[in-house]
Structures are given as structure tokens and as C-alpha cells.
Amino acid sequence: MSAKEILDELKPMGSDSYKRTLFRHGIEEPCFGVKISDMKPIVKRIKKNYQLALDLYDSGVYDAMYLAGLIADDAKMTQKDLKHWLSKAYCRPLCAWPLAWVAAESPHGWTLGQEWIDSKKPLTAVAGWATLGSLVSILPDEKLDLPTLKKLIPRIQKSIHSETDFARYHMNSFLISLGCYVEPLTESVLKAADKIGTVTADLGDNDCQVPGIADSIAKVAQRGSIGKKRKTAKC
């Protein structure tokens, strides 16, 4: 199946109302306005396809770029591929979700995540924090560099309130992920959260709110799920 065939399949699935919702989150034309739930049958049918994912992402159509992240063969993705995707990720949703998910599940997530969080470009930093947040949610603790991850906690505590809105939101999300999925660091995250206090971010003309770090971790703790990893970063 070709990228053109998938695009032809996606186009009539879109709706103007959902498209308007996407535009409030920074998405631009070309965009069909296809709901993620409506993409799932395509994902189920295709499963993983490395080249098709690359071709769909290069189409520049937002819906196809998102779908590319869901069908990418992560193990085959190279650093060059992922950096190319980053260069085309013009909005926060693309950086924070399909790009970050694929990077995290690729062999290069740790390296690129650390590189990207040091960027002065807000969207690159978003991709970095989101990649690391996804990475800690799926990798067993024994495969994580816990000392390096622990050093990121005081770094965020010190700088989060002076970062750009998008980076601030995803630094906050990273701490939540770290506290929920890496039990040896949960207490350190909670101590930092107490010192950080309330985090705010202007994410545009939408209803997105910055979740509280301690409250989010507490909800997971109440379910007895601290430290329980996800099967995949993708959703």
C-alpha cells in the first residue's frame, strides 16, 4: 500500500469540526481533521511499515504525519530519520506525540532525548522532554540510567519557571512520568514538586491545563500502579 492510497483513504474521514479543534492546538494546513480513533483500523491493518511511515510523514499532511508515528517500525528508525522528522515537526503535538513516541521506542531515544532537551529551540526541547518521558514509561528501571535521570530533577526544579510555555509544560509532564513509572525516583520527584509549586503555561486557544505533579502521582499511587510500565509509548 502506498502513501497516496492512505491519503486518499484518510481524506474523506476528516471533519471540519475536528479540524477546528486541531487548529486551536497549533496544527496547520494541510490537515484533513481525522480523529485518532478513526485511524486505529488503519493502524491495525498495517501494523508496522518503515517506508510507508516515512512517506506518510513526508506528505506534510498532519493526519498522515500522526499516523506515521503509529505505524513506524521503531527498531528500523535511524537517528537521521528522527532528526528529519524533527525538522518537519512544526507544532507541539507532532513533537510531543508521534515523534517522541517513535524516538523513545527506537534505539536512539536516550541519546536524542538528552540532546534535544538542551536545545534553545522550544519545539526541539519539547521533543526532548517528551521523548525522555515516554522512554521512562516503557523501559525497565534496570535499563535506565537512573543517576542521570535523577540529575534532571534539580535541573527542572531550578529552571522550569523561566522556560518557554511549551517547554515548561513538557518538563512538568516529564516529572510526572518519572514519578509514576520509576519508583526509585518517585520520592525525589515529589520533593521537587513541593518546591516547584504550581506550574502554568499558555498553550494557546484551547482548554489544555498543566496537571499538578504531586496530584498526578498521587492518583497513580492510589491505584497501586507506581512503577508499572506501559507496553508501548504510543496511544
| pLDDT tens per residue, range 23-55 | 999 999 999 999 999 999 999 999 999 999 999
Backbone dihedral angles phi then psi of residue 72, each to the nearest 5 degrees? -60, 140
Q: What value, to the nearest 5°, has the Cα angle with vertex 88 and ends 211 and 66?
A: 55
User: Cα separation of 214 and 35, whole Å?
Assistant: 31
Give the model's pLDDT for residue 205. Answer: 84
Q: What is the pLDDT of residue 2?
A: 97
Helices (H), 106-207: 109-117, 122-138, 146-159, 165-181, 183-196
CA distances from 107 to 82, 132, 149, 216, 232 (A): 11, 13, 18, 29, 14
Taking the CA atoms of the chain, what radius of gyration do you get in angstroms?
A: 18
**Coil/strand/helix, residue 89:** coil
Q: What is the pLDDT of residues 159-215, one digit of tens each?
A: 999 999 999 999 999 999 999 999 999 999 999 999 999 999 998 888 888 999 999
Residue with cell 498522515: 64
